[in-house]
Each structure stands twice: as C-alpha cells, then as structure tokens.
Amino acid sequence: MKTNDTLEKLKIKSKWENVYWFSRMLISNDKYGSIGKDNSLLAVIASSLRIIESENKSSSSNDIIALQKMALKNLLLNRFKKAKSRLDRIQRLIRDLESELITPDDINTFILTCESIMIPINQAIENIPSNDKDFTLSIATSYLDIQGENGLATVINIWDDLGVKGCLTVERNEIIRAFSALRLLLSNDYKIEDFDKDVILTSFVQEFERRAAQKRKSRAGSSLEDVTTFILDYFKIKSAKAPAHFQADIEIDNWVKSKDGWLIGISCKRTLRERWKQVSSAESGILSKFKIKNVYHILTFDEDLSDDKITLLGNHRHIFYLPDNSRILNHAVNHIGLKEYVRPMSLFIEDLRKETN
C-alpha cells in the first residue's frame, strides 16, 4: 500500500479501532475495576456473547445485541456482587460498555479484545519473570567458584546486565510468540484487510509494551540490592539486623556486625548521583549514636564521584569500593587526601573478614 493510501485510510475510522480502547477499559483498575486480568472471566464473557449470537440467528441484530449486553451486565454483577470495594467501578464499566456496544461489529471487536488481546497478553506477562535474580545466580556462582574473591568485581558489574538481558529476552520471546499467533488468527479466521490488521496488531503491541514496562519498573532497583545478599551468603558472612530506629536518609542493603559489636552498613548502587546529599546526612555523630562503625558503598559506575564527595562522606566514615580498573580509584589511592576513603572492589570480602573474624 502506498503512503498516500495509508494516510487516506487513517482518516477513516476502522471498525476495529476500539480494540485498543476496550483493552484499556478492561485493564483500568482506578476507573473500571480491572477485570481484564481475569482470564477465566474474559473467556466466559467472550463465549457467552458468541453463544447468544449463534443461538439467535433468526432474531434481529438489535435483539441479539440487547441480549448480549444484558448477559454481560448480569455476568459482571453476579461475579462482583460481594466485592463492595469494586462494585461501583464495575457498574461504571457496564454503563460505559453499554454506550460502546451498539453494532455487531462492536460486539465482535469486544470479543476479539477479550480472547485474542487480553488473554494472550496476560499469559505472556505472567511468563515474564518478576525478579531477574533467576538469570544471575547460576552464572554469578560460577564466576566466584572459579575466580574466588578476584571475581567479585566482575560479578557485581555483570549482575545487573545479566538479569536485564535475561528478562528482556523472555519479553521478546513472549511478544513474538503472541504477535505471530494473533497475526495468523487475523489472516486465517477474520480475513480482514491489511489496514485493519495493523489497527489490531498495533493495539496489541501498545498494550503489551505498557504492561511489560510496568513489570520492568517493578524489577528495577532490586537487582543490585540482591547482589549484596548473594555475595555475603556465598562467602558465608553473616548478615545482621538493622539498628533500631535508624532513620537517616541513607539506603543500606545489608548490615554486618564487626567483632567489636559495632555495625557496618553495605550499600551497592550503580552510581551515587544526587544520593550523596542524602547520604551526607548520615554524619559520623549519627553513625556513632547507632553504633555504626562504617558504611561501605559499592559503586559500579563512579565517574560522578568527585573529590568533594569522597572527602565529605569519607570524613563521616563512609568508604567507597570501586572497580579495580577505575580511573577514579587510581586517582584517589595516590592522593594523600583521598586514599583512606577508597578501596578496590576485589578487597571487599577481605576487608569484611578482617572486621568480622
């Protein structure tokens, strides 16, 4: 199809245009109660609408649609009659669907949305891991088994990438599988024009990506917190409880108790960024109050770690563990005012053992 032809088509409303909007209605929780995540309910709705049509072929289309809308209303009200917190939203969904389901094409669009958009997306999203740790544990363990403490920097640096790549690979596989199945269905069962296929397929892709992005967001930030627990467990260094009522604006992933009874906080982050202003609120007086000996920061990217940040936080008993080949580390260890506050990442476990054994 030529570009001009496509642009002309866009001016004409496709009868399948509501595939996207129905999918948004079905998944919306704040407005409509999010029934679109319930595959069994979606299947019952779609089947009921189909059966009513097939059993009433002699009736007028208006009569069939009236029966279908009444069946949909009764299904939803019966399902959620005891769900007091959702009932108002379900009733709003019923009212709004009432105004959208006018023609047989509208009903068919709604059925396709339930069966071939929402259910496959739900299944695909379910197959995407909620935690990327599954992709990293075996590989990270292999590095440490072979390289020991010398592999520590490698494990920390690749941990995040392995998890992200693993989860994104699953995402790609799921969307390819579901997209291919939908395209085949549209070609074989619906016999619709390419433009209408595009309307449906892009609706599917938009909704899949929106849902997948939400799941990505829920995974973000947890990976590097997981790696500190993994490392401590691997090297059999016992974690300690966080000090009671410690409320400084500082993110600590794990705590270790030193042999003198004081605590060492461990924070593993990609970069300090603006967080250093919050971290600086944990000054040495506050640390002493809660018997915190030091805070160890493991940073995988340290180019924003200025001399000012190192000295300000270092004076408050914060120590930075940086990649062994880091330019910042090489600069700091040879600087009289900075060298006490930085350490190579490969010595992290050795330093912890000295403090705890």
Q: How far is CA 264 from CA 30, 51, 288, in A?
A: 43, 66, 11
CATH number for the segment(s) 237-356? 3.40.50
What confidence score (pLDDT) does residue 112 get?
97
Q: Which of 186, 194, 130, 137 is nearest to 162 (CA)?
A: 137
* pTM exceeds 0.85, yes or no: no
> Could you tell me which residues are beta bridge partners of residue 318?
295
Domain boundaries, the chain: 1-119, 128-233, 237-356
What confidence score (pLDDT) does residue 280 get?
58
What confidence score (pLDDT) does residue 295 get?
93
What confidence score (pLDDT) does residue 73 get?
97
Cβ-based neighbour number of residue 253 at 10 Å: 19
What confidence score (pLDDT) does residue 38 get?
96
Q: What type of residue is 3?
A: T
Mean pLDDT by 10 residues, the chain (357 residues): 53 83 96 96 97 94 96 96 92 96 96 97 91 76 89 80 80 94 92 91 96 82 72 93 79 92 90 63 82 92 89 92 92 95 93 93
What confidence score (pLDDT) does residue 1 get?
46
Backbone conformation region of residue 43, classed left if phi is above 0, alpha if psi is from -120 to 50, else beta: alpha
Write the pLDDT tens digit of every residue in 160-186: 677 777 788 889 999 999 999 999 999
Write the pLDDT tens digit of every residue in 3-62: 555 545 554 578 899 999 999 999 999 999 999 999 999 999 999 999 999 999 899 999
State whether the Cα torsion 338-339-342-344 is positive or negative: positive
Cα–Cα dist 194/91, whole Å: 36
Cα–Cα dist 124/172, whole Å: 10
Cα–Cα dist 310/315, whole Å: 8
Cβ distance 42 to 32 under 8 Å?
no
Q: What type of residue is 355?
A: E
Q: Which residues, at least 6 apart from 226, have a Cβ–Cβ distance to it below 8 Å?
A: 131, 133, 136, 159
